[in-house]
Structure 1
Amino acid sequence: MSPSTIWLIVMVVLVLGELATVGLTFIWFAVGALGGAITAWMGGAIWVQVIVFLALSGLALALVRPLAARYLDTKNVATNADRVIGKTAIVIQDIDNIEGKGQVNISGQIWSARSQQAVVIPAGTEVKVLRIEGVKVFVETL
């Protein structure tokens, strides 16, 4: 088997690895393998092929990855839970941290609630959601 064929096989395996992970992990090395294949096809010695492979892989990683990451950036999308932070809620069950009880209605969703200031908040009070810990929201009166 010729060296250029080996490089092409390596490139195909790396591309398949990239397709399986979709994490911009293997594609840079596939570019290097293509360079190694071209170098082998042109009759370059094995050490030249390896140097071309390493150089092209490094260049692709250093130069193209930041651009690709910027355009393919998967920004963190807030989960439904994260979206309640900062919202106004209505207390539907008195919030009492000492007794460990309290519930609020946030946009039609019922959440267990605790007071941020450790004060009792009566039912019917409007509150603001400050943070989430586990399945509980921590709130303060408006």
Structure 2
Amino acid sequence: MEIIVWLALIIFFVVLEIATVGLTSIWLAGGSLAGLICAAFGMGITGQIIVFAAVSFVLLYFTRPWALKYLKPHLVKTNYEEAVGKNVCVTEQIDNVRGTGTAVMNGLEWTARSVDDEKTFEPGMIVMVKEIKGVTLYVTESSDMPQMNGDK
């Protein structure tokens, strides 16, 4: 009976791994295999559970970092976090009410919106990136912002 339970657990953890591809439950399938082997050799249920837990922990702790490093695709980091606090130039009027606005950052044009719905920014103004949500820059006034009211 115990062998059937261990087989069912192996199948469950393998199917779960296939469904999630998180490189987590596959290690539990390895622990279940160790429990199955112990059951086949007549070890008691307490020993089987201890072996299952120990093998699962060892596999998870020691081999998961290696597997994540070498088996998962290498993701390209965009470093967009570095844009927060940078000054950008408005290329199209930023008006949240109208839903318009673009700004150039590092030579690339981004959709831009004001942090404050009451504020609008005209083309040519320098604004500061306060946050990024998706592909939209949320901007606010910058200390480097040129005066647009004609004062010299």
TM-score > 0.5 by shorter chain: yes
- Report how many residues are paired: 133
Aligned equivalents of 1:17 and 1:114: distance in 2? 42
Task: Tell me by how many angstroms 1:62 deviates.
Answer: 1.8
Task: Tell me by how many angstroms 1:70 deviates.
Answer: 3.3
Question: What is the match of residue 21 of structure 1?
Answer: 20
User: RMSD of the alignment, in Å?
Assistant: 4.0
SS in 2 for 1:49: helix
Aligned equivalents of 1:9 and 1:54: distance in 2? 16
How big is each residue's C-alpha offset from its partner over 1:17-56, in whole Å with a ceiling of 9 and x where there is no partner? Answer: 1111222332221111100111112222222222211111
Is the 1:84–1:129 Cα contact (8 Å) retained in structure 2? no
Change (3 A) 1:48 1:83: closer
TM-score calculated relative to the size of structure 1? 0.64
Question: What is the match of residue 92 of structure 2?
Answer: 92
Question: What is the match of residue 103 of structure 2?
Answer: 105
TM-score calculated relative to the size of structure 2? 0.61
In percent, how many aligned pairs have the same letter?
28
Task: Tell me by how many angstroms 1:133 deviates.
Answer: 5.9
Question: What is the match of residue 40 of structure 1?
Answer: 39
Gaps of 5+ in 1: 97-101
Question: What is the match of residue 56 of structure 1?
Answer: 55
Question: What is the match of residue 139 of structure 2?
Answer: 138
Gaps of 5+ in 2: 146-152
Change (3 A) 1:78 1:42: same
Is the 2:110–2:137 Cα contact (8 Å) retained in structure 1? no
